[in-house]
């Protein structure tokens, strides 16, 4: 009887035991970095993503919920290059978490590991929303994801040395899968090379560097400055002189300027996810680029589902 009772108690203990806790609490500023941390960290990380694909990462409020999550974080993973300058410093100060303060081991900035483009020759706020370090929208080039993955994996291992081998194995697996996907994406993107486009905001320099798309004109008179009707009329005149194949905007942007140009110039207005979750088709890091290329090729008249 005692043996049966002991077995039953053992079963109960196993089935009611709390799940193993993740080793690291990670605060990701943008969805792409939350997705990358999840790829590399698996069940050893608990990831909180501070923004969504439908939010402008420049324009975020330092809400109490963000501060509460930052207070318990072991690691923050942000873009850097001043992308989050309007809100993340306030979150860091208010959280008073020594582990994630600038310069601390738990503060990781992806932009510090890639070659930044569009570094301004001079700083003048009259020129609009410019960043001293360069254009921060590095995630639009999937090659940058691969570049950031290694130092981020190393950072996870540094903060959680007991699971270093686990992170190393997950990184190796990610590199294998991502390299295969890159080869496929590069083949699919071939028809985009040299195609002239208009953009709503200057967010795509890294994507254009990768695909060879050519930016002819931006709908904003200066970065971050909404276009007036008079300025859009000027853009329309330029597009009539220098035709473009489509006008591109990020999913979080106001659609009205690009739809105006689309209607007047008789070109497609293409909404791109920009980050994970920006569109229904961009549910994870891999499908982010699948959906981006599909939307562009569809607007160009190519079927990306066919070889």
As a whole number of angstroms, the distance between CA 187 and CA 12 comes to 55
As a whole number of angstroms, the distance between CA 190 and CA 271 comes to 20
H helical segments located in 17-141:
31-41, 64-71, 88-95
Q: Which CATH number fits domain 24-185: 3.40.50.1980, 3.10.20.30, 3.30.750.24, 3.40.50.720?
A: 3.40.50.1980
pLDDT number for residue 23: 86
Fold agreement (24-185, 189-300): yes
Q: Please say if the pLDDT value at position 57 is more than 70.
A: yes
pLDDT number for residue 38: 98
Given strand 45-49, what is the order of strands in its sheet?
45-49, 24-28, 75-78, 107-109
Q: In sequence order, what are the beta bridge partners of 246? A: 197
Q: 223 falls in which pLDDT band (50, 70, 90)?
A: confident
Q: Please say if the pLDDT value at position 277 is more than 60.
A: yes
As a whole number of angstroms, the distance between CA 259 and CA 210 comes to 26
Q: What is the pLDDT averaged over residues 69-91?
A: 97
Q: Are 106 and 73 in contact (CB under 8 A)?
A: yes
Beta-carbon contacts of residue 157 (< 8 Å; ≥ 6 apart):
163, 164, 167, 168
What is the tens place of the pLDDT at every residue in 98-148? 999 999 999 999 999 999 999 876 655 555 566 677 899 999 999 999 999
The residue ranges of every structural domain in the chain are: 24-185, 189-300
Q: Please say if the pLDDT value at position 214 is more than 70.
A: yes
Q: Which fold has domain 189-300?
A: Rossmann fold (3.40.50)
Structure letter (DSSP) for residue 212: -
pLDDT number for residue 128: 53
Q: What is the pLDDT averaged over residues 74-85?
A: 96
């Amino acid at each position: 009887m005692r043996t049966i009772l002991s077995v039953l108690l053992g079963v109960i203990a196993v089935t009611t035991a709390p799940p193993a806790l993740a080793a690291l609490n990670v605060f990701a500023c943008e969805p792409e970095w939350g997705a990358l941390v999840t790829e590399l960290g698996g069940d050893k990380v608990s990831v909180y993503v501070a923004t969504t694909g439908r939010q402008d990462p420049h324009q975020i409020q330092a809400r109490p919920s963000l501060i509460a999550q930052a207070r318990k974080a072991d690691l923050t993973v942000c873009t850097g290059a001043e992308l989050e300058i309007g809100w993340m410093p306030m979150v860091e100060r208010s959280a008073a978490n020594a582990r994630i303060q600038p310069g601390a081991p738990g503060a990781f900035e992806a932009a510090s590991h890639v070659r930044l483009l569009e570094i301004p020759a001079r700083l003048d706020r009259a020129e609009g929303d410019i960043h001293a370090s360069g254009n921060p929208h590095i995630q639009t080039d999937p090659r940058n994801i691969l570049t950031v993955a290694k130092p981020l994996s190393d950072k996870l291992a540094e903060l959680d040395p007991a699971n270093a081998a686990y992170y190393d194995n997950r990184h190796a697996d990610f590199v294998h899968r991502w390299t295969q996907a890159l080869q496929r994406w590069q083949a699919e993107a071939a028809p985009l090379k040299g195609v002239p486009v208009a953009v709503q905001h200057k967010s795509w320099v890294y994507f254009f560097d990768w695909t060879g798309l050519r930016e002819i004109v931006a709908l904003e008179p200066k970065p971050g400055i909404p276009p007036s009707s008079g300025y859009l009329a000027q853009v329309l005149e330029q597009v009539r002189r220098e035709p473009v194949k489509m006008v591109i905007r990020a999913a979080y942007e106001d659609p009205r300027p690009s739809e105006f140009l689309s209607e007047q110039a008789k070109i497609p207005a293409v909404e791109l996810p920009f980050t994970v979750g920006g569109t229904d088709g961009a549910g994870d890091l891999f499908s982010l680029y699948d959906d981006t290329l599909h939307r562009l090729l569809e607007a160009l008249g190519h079927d990306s589902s066919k070889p």
